[in-house]
Each structure stands twice: as structure tokens, then as C-alpha cells.
Amino acid sequence: MEAISLVVVGHLKKNYQPKQCILNDVNLRIEDAEFVAITGKSGSGKTTLLNIIGGLDSDYEGQVEVAGKVLSTLSDDELSAYRNSHVGFVFQSFHLMPHLSCLENVLLPSAFNQGKAVETAFTQQALALLAMVGVAEKAHEFPNCLSGGQQQRVAIARALLMQPKLLLCDEPTGSLDDESAGDIIQLFAKLNAEQGMTIVVVTHDADVALKATRTIHLRQCGVMEEGQCL
């Protein structure tokens, strides 16, 4: 049975400045429930590719289709709704709001949700996610009381709140020590294996790439080499 492509990128081109090649004619398919690691040197376009798939960057040529949605055809408001309910973001710097508790940080995406879900249902979901990522006891503490690893776990819970189809992670272990980074990688592997979550991780970390089911290596101008990891 042929796998369903969750992400289809066709002939993607992106330049920040004229004559500066970032992504040139990138073609990519990511199937449902894949755990993909995108590696490459700095400036090879990894994060740019992730931003485009996540709908954070809409200034490009070519076609990007995620879960049947052609992103270039969406209005700005539709892109906002797409980011809210179809993708979850995990950043290297966590980007937790320091004035909100961990639980409030996890609940943040629900504030922008257009649906009619009840607030208490989101709260239950957020508490369950905090428990799943292992920081349930920190729910009412503020991020500055948490270690880097714990903060990243809260950020992962936040990314999962709206039950997205796709989890996009930009250097999620880049600010963590080895032990915390290992825990986070285990968490991603668990999410992928147990929940069938499609995960795309941009990383320099070889351990992350080893855990992924597929690795895409970007060279200059988005020339891709693919490798299958065991």
C-alpha cells in the first residue's frame, strides 16, 4: 500500500537577496508518520525550508502542499489558522513567555483557535500533555524556574496542544546539554512510534539524525542527499 504524502514540496526556490541562492528547485515528499531529520551546514536552507513548510514564510516560488493544503493559495488569515491547527513548532530557544506559567504557555495556541472547543477541555489536554512530556509537577511554575530540558518539554507540549498533523522542530536540542538532548530525542521517537506523529527536525545533532527514520542532507542551494537511517 502506498504511503500518504503529508508534505509535498515541488520546485521550491527561495532567495533572500538577488544572486544569493538559498533553496533552488527543491523537491521533497514527507509521508504521514515519518520522522525526518534535515541536516546540513549553516546557510544551507534547513530552517528556511522548515519555515516555508510551517507557513511562517510565504515569500517563495514553487509549490508547497501540506495535508492537502496548497500554502501559496492561502490568505494570511488562513495561514494563521493553518499554523494554529495543522502544525506545531518547537524552537531552539524554546520561546516560552516568561510572564505565563507552564500551563498557560501550553494553553497559548488555544487562544488563537477559531473552533468552539471548551476552555476546560483545552486545560485538561494541556495537563495531560505536560504529564506526557514529564513535567506535570511544573504546570503552575514559571519557565524561569525550569531547566533548559524542562522548558523544551513544555514547548513540545505547547506544540502538541492543538493535535497537529505535523511537528516542526528547529534545532530542538541546540541549547541543551547531552543528557537533556537525549531525553528530548527519546520523546520525539516515542511520539513518532506510539502516536504516529509526523516529525520534521532540523538539526546539527548526529544523535537526532540517527533516531530519525529518514535523513535529508541539504548542501549549498538546497541540493538534497537522502539517507535512510536505521
User: How many whole angstroms from its chain centre is CA 107?
Assistant: 17
Provide the minimum distance between the beta carbon of 14 and other proteins in the complex, in angstroms, as a whole number.
10
Select 39 or 92, whichever has its Cβ closest to other proteins: 92
CA distance 106 to 100: 9
According to DSSP, the residues that pair with 64 across neighbouring strands are: 9
Rule CB under 8 A: say whether 84 interacts with other proteins.
yes
Rule CB under 8 A: say whether 179 interacts with other proteins.
no
Out of 71, 102, 103, 109, point to the residue binding other proteins (CB under 8 A): 109
Rule CB under 8 A: say whether 97 interacts with other proteins.
yes
CA proximity to 188, closest of 222, 160, 224, 216: 160
Torsion angle, CA of 29/31/36/41, rounded to 10 degrees? 10
**Beta-sheet strand order (sheet of 198-202):** 87-90, 166-170, 198-202, 35-40, 214-218, 224-228
Out of 35, 60, 89, 188, point to the residue binding other proteins (CB under 8 A): 89
- The residue type found at 151 is Q
Sole window of 83-91, 121-129, 138-146, 204-212 interacting with other proteins (rule: CB under 8 A): 83-91
Out of 35, 91, 122, 188, point to the residue binding other proteins (CB under 8 A): 91
Contact residues: other proteins, CB under 8 A: 47-48, 50-51, 54, 56-57, 76-77, 80-81, 83-85, 89, 91-93, 95, 97, 99, 108-109, 111-113, 158, 162, 170
